[in-house]
Amino acid sequence: MSSRRDSIVTAIVTALGAVGKPSGLTVHRHRTLPIGEDILPAQVVYCESEEAKVGPGRGASDNSYARKAKRTLTVVIESRVNAGSSTPDQALDPLLSWCVQQVSADVAQGGYAFDTQEQSTIWNAAETDAVLGAAQTRFVIEYVTDAADPDSLT
């Protein structure tokens, strides 16, 4: 059985790989694959951080099974391109639009979350034997679990 966190990321990967995606787009979860070795254009989905805020339980303070944790997961979607004759920003633009549209279309991420919000995008470019561009778009995803079981559905 997958964890809630993994189910959320899987829902995002599935959404990015859906019909209508930009031509030639590869979507995967291999964060450590260097951009020069990737099949471009690509979008890489990975978790960056997670915070948990545990609230009091119902009734007695030692009733741990009733305590809830509001979890805030930051997921990064790194869009990668070979810019070719375009600038990296121009080549990345369709991927960034696709990313926001697809992730925002289901804020519940398949029923595993209760909210998803776009947070920020950071652009990078590098010139080697080709002009490569990358942009990291961060999404903050909130979900609630039992405090003692981060995989529970509440």
Q: Which residue has the higher pLDDT, 120 or 61?
A: 120
What does the pLDDT look like over 105-131, one tens digit per residue? 999 999 999 999 999 999 988 877 788
Structural tokens at position 22: 């930009």
- The pLDDT value recorded for residue 154 is 65
Residue with tokens 């990967």: 13
Interval 69-90 mean pLDDT: 94
- The pLDDT value recorded for residue 146 is 87
Q: How far apart are the C-alpha atoms of 133 and 81, rounded to whole Å?
A: 5
Q: How far apart are the C-alpha atoms of 73 and 129, rounded to whole Å?
A: 36
CATH fit for domain 4-58+67-146, picks 3.30.530.20, 3.40.50.300, 3.30.70.1700, 1.10.3720.10 = 3.30.70.1700
Q: Which residue has the higher pLDDT, 20 or 85?
A: 20
Q: Is 80 helix (H, G, I), strand (E, B) or coil?
A: strand
Domain ranges in the chain are 4-58+67-146
Confidence band (pLDDT; 50, 70, 90) for 79?
A: very high
Sequence-distant (6+) residues with CB within 8 A of 98 are 16, 21, 22, 25, 43
- The pLDDT value recorded for residue 50 is 96
Q: Which residue has the higher pLDDT, 150 or 57?
A: 150
Length of the chain, in residues = 154
